[in-house]
């Protein structure tokens, strides 16, 4: 790539997708596909065809059509017909291989029968896969298996230790379960035991197993912090289960100021519409990293502005690439495609007037793969 033009260099640079989920492997109907293009609504859409008339819907027809041997801007009907003809697994194979991703760091907290797991993703994509363990899933499994809540503290630590032997990081969905405007200091063992007892008692009355108790979530976070593995936080944009205003990462300031957190990489995922707040935190705290995955897909033709904002204040050694793709493999490809487009436009526009091309290439490599490889200690 040394002699290639800057756009060609960006096109060829390999990516590490440091936060992603499995692609579909089982065929489904068009409504499933359409619903998957709406991140905010976690219920079946009344008019699922409306998702074609969005930034992401237009971006798929522009950038993914060619992967399916269609002309760019194929109509929704043409696109769905060709997609159905190929079948889901072939679509997943084509899209993931076209993304130019060498490594996928997969959050296995959403694994179900319809989605490819790490082994399946490695097979269809031809890339390497690595697991990210979701803390709340560990807790939800444990609480149903232990007989005595007094054993929760020790058992959680041991289980997390065992699960992360083959994982490269952990993740919390505190944003969905309680928001960030909480006391996230390390709870005492007695407080954790009492919270586990309450949760177990509530489960006995038929309550949902979903973990929402902040004491237990904080316990999981601090158990992960003690292991010094990269700890991912969902930040900002997501489905309507979360209260968006409570996912501003500035609420995490007290947590980040804690001395015991200082040596643990804190990975702020997605960040939109708080990408500038997240950039400040990456600037102010040496252990904080950011990405703008997920929103790049959903902002479509506006994604260059989002990528540009993520490049404002955060050190370039603290920015990573991710797609947060889940379900249709178009999202695994489109995240990479739109990121490359944005970097070519934004960073390419800075060359000569503000940046040297050598610096631009070095920074693109940092964000594309070097930062993730270093932070997650990937081979």
SS3 (DSSP) at 288:
strand
Enclosing H/E stretch for 62? helix 55-63
Mean pLDDT of all residues belonging to the chain: 96
pTM: 0.96
Select the more confidently predicted residue: 241 or 323: 323
What pLDDT sits at residue 1?
Answer: 63
pLDDT tens digits, 93-116: 999 999 999 999 999 987 777 899
What pLDDT sits at residue 227?
Answer: 96
pLDDT above 70 for 5: yes
How far is C-alpha 52 from the geometric centre of its chain's CA atoms?
23
pLDDT category, 46, cuts 50, 70, 90? confident
Angle CA 239–244–246, to nearest 5: 135
CB 98 within 8 A of CB 340: no
Q: Where in the chain do CATH 3.20.20.140 domains reside? A: 6-26+91-375
SS3 (DSSP) at 293:
coil
Buried/exposed 263-283: b ≥16 CB within 10 Å, e otherwise: ebbbbbbbbbebbebbbbbbe
CB 178 within 8 A of CB 212: yes
What pLDDT sits at residue 39?
Answer: 87
Let me know if domain 6-26+91-375 sits in CATH 3.20.20.140.
yes
pLDDT tens digits, 61-97: 999 999 999 999 999 999 999 999 999 999 999 999 9
Alpha-carbon distances of 225 from 37, 124, 219, 372, rounded to whole Å: 34, 33, 10, 18
pLDDT above 70 for 207: yes
pLDDT category, 167, cuts 50, 70, 90? very high
pLDDT above 80 for 222: yes
User: Could you tell me what percent of the chain has a pLDDT over 90?
Assistant: 91
What pLDDT sits at residue 2?
Answer: 66
User: Could you tell me what percent of the chain has a pLDDT over 70?
Assistant: 99
pLDDT tens digits, 322-351: 999 999 999 999 999 999 999 999 999 999
**Cα(170)–Cα(180) distance, integer angstroms:** 17
pLDDT category, 236, cuts 50, 70, 90? very high
């Amino acid at each position: 790539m040394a002699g290639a033009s800057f756009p060609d260099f960006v096109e060829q640079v390999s990516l590490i997708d440091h936060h992603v989920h499995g692609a579909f492997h089982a065929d489904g109907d068009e409504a499933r596909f359409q619903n998957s293009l709406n991140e905010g609504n976690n219920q079946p859409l009344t008019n699922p065809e409306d998702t074609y008339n969005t930034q992401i819907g237009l971006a798929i027809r522009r950038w993914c059509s060619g992967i399916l041997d269609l002309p760019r801007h194929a109509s929704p009907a043409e696109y769905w017909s060709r997609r159905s003809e190929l079948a889901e697994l072939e679509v997943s194979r084509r899209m993931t291989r076209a993304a130019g991703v060498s490594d996928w760091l997969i959050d296995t907290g959403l694994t179900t029968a319809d989605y490819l797991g790490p082994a399946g993703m490695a097979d269809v994509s031809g890339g390497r896969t690595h697991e990210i363990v979701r803390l709340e899933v560990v807790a939800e499994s444990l609480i149903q298996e232990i007989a005595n809540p007094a054993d929760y503290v020790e058992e959680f630590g041991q289980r997390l230790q065992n699960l992360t032997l083959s994982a490269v990081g952990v993740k919390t969905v505190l944003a969905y379960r309680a928001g960030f405007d909480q006391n996230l200091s390390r709870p005492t063992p007695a407080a954790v035991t009492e919270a586990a007892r309450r949760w177990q008692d509530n489960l006995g009355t038929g309550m949902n197993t979903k973990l929402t108790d902040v004491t237990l979530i904080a316990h999981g976070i601090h158990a992960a912090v003690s292991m010094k593995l990269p700890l991912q936080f969902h930040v900002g944009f997501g489905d309507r289960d979360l209260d968006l205003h409570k996912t501003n990462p500035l609420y995490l300031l007290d947590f980040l100021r804690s001395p015991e957190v200082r040596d643990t990489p804190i990975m702020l995922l997605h960040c939109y519409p708080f990408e500038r707040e997240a950039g400040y935190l990456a600037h102010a705290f040496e252990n904080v990293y950011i990405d703008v995955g997920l929103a790049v897909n959903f902002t479509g033709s506006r994604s260059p502005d989002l990528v540009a904002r993520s490049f404002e204040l955060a050190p370039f050694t603290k920015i990573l690439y991710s797609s947060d793709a889940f379900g249709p493999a178009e999202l695994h490809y489109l995240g990479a495609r739109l990121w490359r487009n944005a970097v070519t436009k934004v960073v390419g526009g800075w060359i000569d007037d503000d940046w040297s091309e050598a610096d631009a290439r070095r920074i693109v490599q940092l964000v594309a793969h070097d930062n993730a490889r270093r932070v997650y200690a990937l081979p």
